[in-house]
Amino acid sequence: MSHLEKFATVDPFKGMNGNNPGKCQNLVSGQWRDEKEYFDNVPDPLNGEDFLKIPNTKNVDEFIKNLGDCPKSGLHNPLKNVDRYVMLGNVCAKAAEVMRDKEVEDFFIRLIQRVMPKTDNQCYGEVKVTRVFLENFAGDGVRFLGRGFSNPGDHVGQESSGYRWPYGPVVIIAPFNFPLEIPALQFMGALFMGNRPLIKSATTVGVVFEQFLRMLIYCGLPITDADMIHCGGSTMGNLIKDSNEKIRMLQFTGSSQVAEQLSQDMNGRIRVEDAGFDWKVIGPDYSSEWADYVAWQCDEDAYNASGQKCSAQSILFVHENWTDHLMPRLKKLVERRRLIT
């Protein structure tokens, strides 16, 4: 039996369509569970079919309880359960090996592409970055990441020591534009230092991280080390408000407006990677040989994928030496777009 057959529960090649929709589950208290309600508005980006059954979770009591059950000292720290550092290093080694399998690599590339349409190379980039990250922390990498410090004191018997200490119960909210790379790296970083994360990916792309999490469990991650929830944004917002005193840190990637609200809900206990505003400056050295390429690159940076990327070109400043040559080319490229709002 191949690696893929041992963890994958959806088929982005022959399944995930109107006749055979893919199905997602929540992970809570060490169990994969179905829900009573599912979203009915998750269309296939290419043809509009309902191609995924995503749980529309309403009852979040058990998720909140698990946040409260995790101690402030985490699942491990430099003074407790230190064997877990090595265990997670071994999980990384195995997961990196599995992701080098061509079948698994192609699976994640196509799965990303089905829910967040990008080129093959863009999807492969997410898979490669995630795999290399796992390779970097394989073996003793996780243990060394937890390195602290020690300073001699100013009198006999005194010493200052610092430990890389976990928060304990944490929450990760991940965006739609990088369905694998962003949640995978944030999730693993939280695990490495002893935290127990509850993770929610954007509803439309949550299937990608769910399959990655299933792969990690196949590679040796204890199934009770984390929870994953599929739910609407309002439900997640209420969960955060209701468990405010239990969550010790929230990692949020998304819009600046939501980040502002969550910052208030969490009383500042939040790390934000919010919307970017990226400038591009053209000029003054005009070159006719580069005009077509510069126009193409400007169009590509602004509209590639969904145009919603945090790395997307937001504003373009053009020197007058370029204006007459660049603007007509850009106009021609932009007119190809058929954007639906």
List, in sequence order, the alpha helices (H) in 277-319: 291-303
In angstroms, how far is the first alpha carbon of the chain from the final one? 45
Residue 196: both structure tokens together: 């127990």
Cα of 204 vs its chain's centroid, Å: 13
Angstrom distance (rounded) from CA 22 to CA 178: 20
Decide which of 1.10.10.60, 3.40.605.10, 3.40.50.300, 3.30.540.10 is the CATH code for 3-16+60-146+164-274.
3.40.605.10
pTM confidence score: 0.90
- Residues belonging to the active site: 273, 310
User: Where along the chain do its domains lie?
Assistant: 3-16+60-146+164-274, 279-334
Residue 243: both structure tokens together: 């468990």
Place of tokens 């985490």: 74
pLDDT in tens, the chain (341 residues): 899 999 999 999 999 999 999 999 999 999 999 999 999 888 998 889 999 999 999 999 999 999 999 999 999 999 999 999 999 999 999 999 999 999 999 999 999 999 998 889 989 999 999 999 999 999 999 999 999 999 999 999 999 999 999 999 999 999 998 999 999 999 999 999 999 999 999 999 999 999 999 999 999 999 999 999 999 999 999 999 999 999 999 999 988 889 999 999 999 999 998 777 889 999 899 999 999 999 999 988 887 665 456 778 889 999 999 999 999 999 999 888 775 54
Angstrom distance (rounded) from CA 311 to CA 307: 9
- 134 φ/ψ angles, rounded to the nearest 5 degrees: -65, -40
Residue 44: both structure tokens together: 């296939």
Strand, coil or helix: 278: strand
- 8 Å CB contact between 293 and 287: no
